[in-house]
Structure 1
Amino acid sequence: MSPTTVAVRAGFRRGAIELRNTFTNAQDLWGYLFPTLILVVTIFFMRGSTVPGTDFSLGARTLPSALGMGLAFGGLIALAQQLVVEREDGTLLRAKATPNGMLGYLVGKLTLMSTTALASMLIQLVPSLFLVDGLRLTSAGAWLTLLWVAVLGLVATLPLGAVIGSLIESARNLGLVMLPMMGLIALSGIFYPINGYPGWLQAVAQVFPIYWLGLGMRSALLPDALAAVELGGSWRHLETLGVLGSWAVLGLVLAPVVLRRMARRESGSRVAARRERAMRQVF
């Protein structure tokens, strides 16, 4: 058996262990349930509003958009947070010290983050179904679209999250990523159609994967008549596939290079220096 195969198998085992620890930890479980509570409350207060030009509930439109946002957030931010924290506490340095350890570490993290992202999506979807009507859930095509959009969205965002986590030196700098992320969410039509935005804002929103994840989820769960309120008057599946696929290729090309560069720079002295800086800031 080749060393690479051994590392990949070790990575899957590592991911399974971390999943078991996550799903048996009350704090982690609350982290998955809290966004569901926020989403349910949001949909509840939007239940009386309608999508402009239709009598369709704005809350029902928000649900699939929020599911796409959750996948993007889990891929881009959650993995970055894990990498930054475990770089500070020396976990990455220990992984680097074993043969093909970084490969196994990355496979484990991708297993953990992709599974938890999909589980979070289901946790948010199930209770929301009792609050909104008109979702297209009896069609096999709807579930197939939901599946390929979710999988492609994770492939597009998880490598980018690894790149972001590799470039950030300290967990205290994650706010530099969160602020632009919140801005992109506001621009991406998650809570309201972007048709009324200026053309240049629409163009900016369509560059990034958040908009296309939201659009893909809406195409899976909403009636076909709602495509009329989207840009271009259609669900634009080919464009969704093209943009998310392009981000996936970019991330898969960049992530190994950036991760290897980050791993080469890690040393015991750098970990100790980070701990010393953190202690000074605490005291």
Structure 2
Amino acid sequence: MIWHAVRLGLRRGLTETKHAFREPQEIFFTLFWAGSFLVVIYFQRDATIAGVSLAALTLPSLVTLGIAFNGLMGMVGGLAVEREDGTLLRAKSVPHGMVGYVIAKVVLISLSSLTGSMLVLLPSLFMVSALDAVGVPGWLGLFGILMLGLLATLPWGAVIGSFASNPQTGAGFSMLGLAGLAAISGIFYPITSMPGWLQVVAQVFPPYWLGHGARAAVLPPGFAAAELTGAWRVEWCVLVLALWAAAGFLIAPGVLRRMARRESGSVMQARRERAMQRVG
């Protein structure tokens, strides 16, 4: 029975992805974020830091920021909205429905995130000369980092979304937290320029390691001079992201089950009435 739920979840995820790619609002936001990132790369294309191309350092980090953003915010927003519109309640009423629901969300967010990443990477190939020498192993390594990044963020998005009282609260707190981590994670400028204690804080969370792993995958060895230790730490990158993923997938199922048990028709109706009051 559970494998039937898995198959239904995969099918539903693909269907939701097709619908999302036809939604004008979804298309606009995807193109808007991709265009914003490309503007940053364009203006950095001729800048260097210690002889290292700033655009080449920024590009992999921007792509992984998009992965972290979509992995976290996509799950937070999806759970919060679908608690209000009754989707979660309907999933709960079906045997293993929560399994299918979560799988569908993972498929939708993963495919959407990877599509957004490609929209940034492909045009950047014509603007960032340092990417000319990236071979098949490098691109496969980048893909692996992106997938590991999704695994490290998606379950935590589910945890945050389970506790959020409404979509605005969940999205607001998640956005603030992620923006703060992005600011100290060396995405827009080398982390070596920040105070030592901020460097330590940044290395605890996934955004820094996502950017570091992506840079290690596609940039020449000489670019490691701009990193904290002057070398690529791929093993540490994989370890930290894997620990965040493992902890998330251990914690998220229990949190989701408790959230689902609290869902009922009366609770959903009360939540919907509060939502209508906010709109009104």
Q: Fold match, TM over 0.5?
A: yes
CA distance in 2, matches of 1:279, 1:149: 41
Equivalent in 131, 141, 144 of residue 140 of structure 2: 144
Aligned residue in 2 for 1:268: 265
Equivalent in 81, 94, 97 of residue 98 of structure 1: 94
1:151-190 Cα offsets, whole Å, 9 max, x none, are: 2111111111111111112012021221121111000000
Aligned residue in 2 for 1:122: 118
RMSD over aligned CA atoms reads: 1.2
* 2:163 maps to 1:178: no
Answer with 171-180 or 236-245: which moved more. Answer: 171-180
CA distance in 2, matches of 1:242, 1:32: 30
Equivalent position SS for 2:129: coil
CA distance in 2, matches of 1:156, 1:194: 21
Question: Matched residues, percent identical?
Answer: 51
Question: Contact conserved, 1:76 with 1:157, CA < 8 A, in 2?
Answer: yes
Aligned residue in 1 for 2:35: 37
Question: Contact conserved, 2:72 with 2:174, CA < 8 A, in 1?
Answer: no
CA distance in 2, matches of 1:207, 1:127: 32
Aligned residue in 1 for 2:53: 57
CA distance in 1, matches of 2:153, 2:2: 24
Structure 1 unpaired stretches of 5+:
none
1:53-94 Cα offsets, whole Å, 9 max, x none, are: 21x321221111101111111111111111111111111011
Equivalent in 13, 24, 32 of residue 15 of structure 1: 13
Aligned residue in 2 for 1:28: 26
* 2:66 maps to 1:70: yes
Aligned residue in 2 for 1:223: 220
Question: Contact conserved, 1:72 with 1:154, CA < 8 A, in 2?
Answer: yes
AA aligned opposite 2:44? M
Could you state the TM-score of these two structures normalised by the residue count of structure 2? 0.96
CA distance in 1, matches of 2:204, 2:12: 34
CA distance in 2, matches of 1:90, 1:224: 51
Equivalent position SS for 1:239: helix
Equivalent position SS for 1:232: coil
Structure 2 unpaired stretches of 5+:
none
AA aligned opposite 1:127? P
* 2:46 maps to 1:87: no
Could you state the TM-score of these two structures normalised by the residue count of structure 1? 0.95
Structure 1 residue 191: deviation in Å? 0.5
Structure 1 residue 136: deviation in Å? 5.1
CA distance in 2, matches of 1:64, 1:105: 31
Question: Contact conserved, 1:136 with 1:221, CA < 8 A, in 2?
Answer: no
Aligned residue in 2 for 1:255: 252
Aligned residue in 2 for 1:205: 202
* 2:105 maps to 1:109: yes
* 2:279 maps to 1:282: yes
